Amino acid sequence: MNDHVIDQGFDAYTDSEHAVWRTLFERQSKLLPGRAAPEFVEGLKALGVAADGIPNFEALSDILEAATGWRIVAVAGLVPDDVFFRHLANRRFPVTNWIRKPEQLDYLQEPDVFHDCFGHVPMLFNPVFADYMAAYGRGGMKALNLGALKLLARLYWYTVEFGLIRTEDGLRIYGAGIVSSRGETTFSLEDESPNRLAFDLLRIMRTDYIIDHYQQTYFVIDSYDQLFDATRPDFTPYYAQLKPLPSLSPDQVLPTDERI
Ligand code: HBI
Ligand code: FE
């Protein structure tokens, strides 16, 4: 079974590629305190080793593994779903090894090393979130066998990628897709256009998403325990319940939704 893991090619990175990483790292590190969740900011400190250039995945993995048992593995880009879930279930996070071009600083379609490493890795230092990600991987492998990938992919999208968390100081960001994007970092918290709804597992698994612009709806958790506890039960009955229901469009709000 090909796990799609490649050599990172760390020595092949050019100075200009490290400079793109530094620009993005410095820009987001300034923007995120007071906007990102404290757990993300905490994890970012550990990532501090990578402030001046694209990190060496092996060295970063040694630090991460000591914290929560996770390692990062280099991949060339998106890998098949079953391969992705198997990695997560084994506490391996696949990180793309190439970085965007200088002219793509503000947006690119496919995740690059900045999205994957700066966006996702800091939260993997949080033990509860790290357990959630491993549980998600196990759930993903089961979902594939049940033909329910689409439903479970929505949970990943609206939490791991674009999740917000409620704190006593206000809403904070923990989603990788937001923290790695300058524009969406401010949009997700400060713009009045998107809906912000309380986390609701079945509601999320019914909700479609569009991949190439800011979210029209963000889901807000109260804690990472809430997220992890949601993944404890076997999802089979949820899938059976959801299958006959129509999907909801990303901008829809139901009367039963709790607005934040
Ligand atoms: N592959 N490298 C990589 N990174 C991802 O985030 C990823 C993937 N393959 C599939 C996938 N994500 C989706 O199926 C999940 O979002 C559910
Ligand atoms: Fe991602």
Q: Whole-angstrom Cα distance, residue 221 to residue 200? A: 9
CA of 111 to the centre of ligand 1 (A): 9
Is residue 3 one of the residues assigned to a domain?
A: no
Q: Whole-angstrom Cα distance, residue 223 to residue 11? A: 40
What burial letters (b/e) apply to 58-73, b meaning 16+ CB within 10 Å? eebbeebeeebebbbb
CA of 170 to the centre of ligand 2 (A): 24
Question: Nearest C-alpha to atom 13 of ligand 1 is from which residue?
Answer: 81
pLDDT value for 47: 83
120 is catalytic: yes
Is residue 249 one of the residues assigned to a domain?
A: no
Total tally of structural domains belonging to the chain? 1
Is residue 48 one of the residues assigned to a domain?
A: yes
- Domain extent at residue 77: 10-242
Q: Whole-angstrom Cα distance, residue 41 to residue 28? A: 11
Is residue 160 one of the residues assigned to a domain?
A: yes
Q: Whole-angstrom Cα distance, residue 136 to residue 86? A: 10
Q: Whole-angstrom Cα distance, residue 112 to residue 179? A: 14
Is residue 211 one of the residues assigned to a domain?
A: yes
Is residue 85 one of the residues assigned to a domain?
A: yes
Pairing relation of β-strands 164-167 and 170-173? antiparallel
Task: Identify the bridge partners of residue 248 per DSSP, sorted by sequence position.
Answer: 207
Is residue 4 one of the residues assigned to a domain?
A: no
Angle at which helix 57-68 crosses helix 38-46, to 10 degrees, equals 130
Q: pLDDT tens digits for the chain (260 residues)?
A: 799 999 999 999 999 999 999 999 999 999 999 999 999 999 999 888 788 999 999 999 999 999 999 999 999 999 999 999 999 999 999 999 999 999 999 878 899 999 999 999 999 999 999 999 999 999 999 999 999 999 999 999 999 999 999 999 999 999 999 999 999 999 999 999 999 999 999 999 999 999 988 999 999 999 999 999 998 999 999 999 999 999 999 999 999 999 99
pTM of the full predicted structure?
Answer: 0.96
CB-CB contact of 241 with 148 (8 Å): no
115 is catalytic: yes
Task: Identify the bridge partners of residue 93 per DSSP, sorted by sequence position.
Answer: 72
pLDDT value for 48: 81
Question: Nearest C-alpha to atom 15 of ligand 1 is from which residue?
Answer: 153
CB atoms within 10 A of CB 211: 9
CA of 84 to the centre of ligand 2 (A): 11
Catalytic residue among 17, 39, 161, 184: 161
* Structural tokens at position 78: 């998106």
- Ligand nearest the Cα atom of residue 177: 2
Catalytic residue among 39, 61, 87, 115: 115
Catalytic residue among 61, 120, 181, 184: 120
CB-CB contact of 250 with 157 (8 Å): no
17 is catalytic: no
Tell me which residues have their CB closer than 6 angstroms to ligand 1: 75, 78-79, 81, 84, 94, 111, 153, 156
Residue 115: C-alpha distances to residues 111, 122, 170, 176, 198 (Å): 5, 11, 25, 7, 25
Q: Whole-angstrom Cα distance, residue 112 to residue 78? A: 10
pLDDT value for 109: 85
Question: Nearest C-alpha to atom 10 of ligand 1 is from which residue?
Answer: 81
CA of 112 to the centre of ligand 2 (A): 9
Pairing relation of β-strands 71-75 and 195-198? unpaired
213 is catalytic: no
Q: Whole-angstrom Cα distance, residue 195 to residue 259? A: 7
pLDDT value for 145: 95
CB-CB contact of 223 with 252 (8 Å): no
Q: Write the CATH number for 69.
A: 1.10.800.10
- Which of 5, 75, 81 gets mutated to test ligand 1 (max ligand atoms within 8 A of its CB)? 81
Is residue 259 one of the residues assigned to a domain?
A: no
pLDDT value for 212: 87
